[in-house]
Amino acid sequence: MTGPDPATAGAILTVDLGALVANWRHLAARAAPAECGAVVKADAYGCGIGEVVPALARAGCRTFFVAQPEEGVRARRAAPEAAIYVLNGLLPGAAPAFAREGLRPVLGSRAEVEEWADFCREAGSRPAAIHVDTGMNRLGLPPHEARDLAGDPLLAAFAPSLLMSHFVAAEDPADPVTRRQVALFAEVAALFPTVPASLANSSGHGLGSGATRALTRPGYALFGGNPTPGEPNPMRPVVTLEARIVQVRHVEAGARAGYNGRWRAPGACRLATLSIGYADGYPRGASGGGAALVGDVLCPFAGTVSMDLIILDTTEAPDDHVRRGAPVTLIGGALDIDEVGRRAGTIGYEILTRLGPRYARRYIGA
C-alpha cells in the first residue's frame, strides 16, 4: 500500500503485479529466442517503478528502459543488477551522472556519441546504445550518419551494447511504414554485426524476427494495453481504479448538473458524486463520453469532470451499490484502459501515465 490511507482516500488504484508478470512472460515467449526487456518510463506507465521493476526483475527481466536519468536512478535501486537504458539520450554534461548510477544512455546524435566517447576515454569504457532513426524524425541518428559511424574509430572509445530504432505505427498492420522501417533497420544493423539490435515495442512482437531481433522493448502491453487494436486483447488487465461515492441525490426531469449546467436530466434521475477529478489525472476530455461501472451497470457521467469530483448518472444502477462511501469502477472490467482512453478522446497510454498521486495504491499478486 502506498499513498493516502485507503479508508479516507477518494479513490483506490489496484495494480496486479501477478498479471503484469504474466504479461511479461507472454511477450517473452513471443519474443524468444530474442530477449524481452521492459519499458518502465513515466513511473512504469503510472504503475510505480519501485513496485513494477522488482516484480519484473524477479520474473527474469534483465533489461529496462526509462525516459529520464532520474527514473533510471529509481529503477537502479529496484534492480541493482539490470541493464538500464535512458531513452531520451545524453544532455550536455550529464555523462558523469550516468556513470555514477550505472545508467546507459541511448545516444541519438553524433554530438551525443562524441560526448560519451570523450567521457569514456577519460573515465574508462562504458556501455551505451546507439539510436538510429528509421522514420520517426524524433530521436536517433539519420541512417546515413549511422552508416558513417559504423567504421568510425570513435566507437572503440566506448562499448556500444545495443543498436536500436523505434516503430512509427507498429500497431497498424495496414501502414506500409513498418515494413520500410524493418528493412532499413536491417540494412543499418548489418554494419554493426557485433552489436545486439532492438526494434520492437509492444505491437512489434507480432511482426516476426525482423522486428524482434535480439531484444524487445514492450511497455504498454505489460500494463494491459492491447498491442493488437481491433483484435481481442491477449494481455491481462493490470490496473483497476475505483472511486468512492461521497453524495447521492435525486433530481427532477430538466434539472441541470455540473459546471455551466451542461448536463440536463432526461427524466427523474439519481446522481452520485464521486471523489475523483481531473486533478487526479482523470481526463476532463471524458466529460461527454465517460462512464463508470456501478455493480455491472455502465453509468454515464453527468456533465463535466471537475477538478476533484465527477457526477455520475446512476439511475439505472442497482440500488444497493448506490450509497455514500460505496466504490464504483472507473477502470476495470468492460472499462479497460483502451476503452477509457477512447471515451476520453485520448489513448490508454495517457490514461495510465496520468494516474494520480492522490490515489491510495494497492499492489496485489506479488
87 binds ligand PLP (CB under 6 A): yes
Q: Which of 41, 282, 359, 363 is catalytic?
A: 41
Question: Which of residues 39 and 157 has its CB atom nearest to ligand PLP in the complex?
Answer: 39
Q: Are strands 11-16 and 239-251 parallel, antiparallel or unpaired?
A: antiparallel
Catalytic annotation present for 220: no
User: Shortest gap between Cβ of 220 and ligand PLP (angstroms)?
Assistant: 3
> Among candidates 4, 30, 16, 15, which has minimal Cα distance to 207?
30
User: Shortest gap between Cβ of 325 and ligand PLP (angstroms)?
Assistant: 36
Q: How far is 314 from 246, CA to CA, in rounded Å?
A: 13
108 binds ligand PLP (CB under 6 A): no
Catalytic annotation present for 359: no
Backbone phi, psi, residue 248, to 5° = -125, 135
Among residues 217, 244, 343, 361, which is the contact residue for ligand PLP, using CB under 6 A?
Answer: 217
What region does 171 belong to: left with phi over 0, alpha with psi -120 to 50, or beta? alpha
Which residue has the closest beta carbon to ligand PLP? Answer: 219
20 binds ligand PLP (CB under 6 A): no
- Cβ-contact 54, 230 below 8 angstroms: no
Beta bridge partners of 241: 13, 331
220 binds ligand PLP (CB under 6 A): yes
Among residues 74, 76, 104, 166, which is the contact residue for ligand PLP, using CB under 6 A?
Answer: 166
x-marked contacts with ligand PLP along 182-201 as a string, rule CB under 6 A: -------------------x
> Among candidates 264, 274, 269, 300, which has minimal Cα distance to 359?
274
Q: Residue 132: what residue type?
A: V
With CB under 6 A as the contact rule, which of the stretches 4-12, 154-162, 212-220, 294-302 interacts with ligand PLP?
212-220
Q: How far is 164 from 187, CA to CA, in rounded Å?
A: 13
Q: How far is 63 from 152, CA to CA, in rounded Å?
A: 27
Among residues 23, 202, 226, 329, which is the contact residue for ligand PLP, using CB under 6 A?
Answer: 202
> Among candidates 64, 25, 59, which has minimal Cα distance to 41?
64
User: Shortest gap between Cβ of 217 and ligand PLP (angstroms)?
Assistant: 4
With CB under 6 A as the contact rule, which of the stretches 122-130, 211-219, 299-307, 329-337 interacts with ligand PLP?
211-219
Among residues 48, 89, 105, 218, which is the contact residue for ligand PLP, using CB under 6 A?
Answer: 218
Cα torsion at 132, 352, 210, 36 (round to 10°)?
100
Active site (catalytic) residues: 41, 259
Residues of this chain that bind ligand PLP (CB under 6 A): 39, 41, 87, 166, 201-202, 217-221
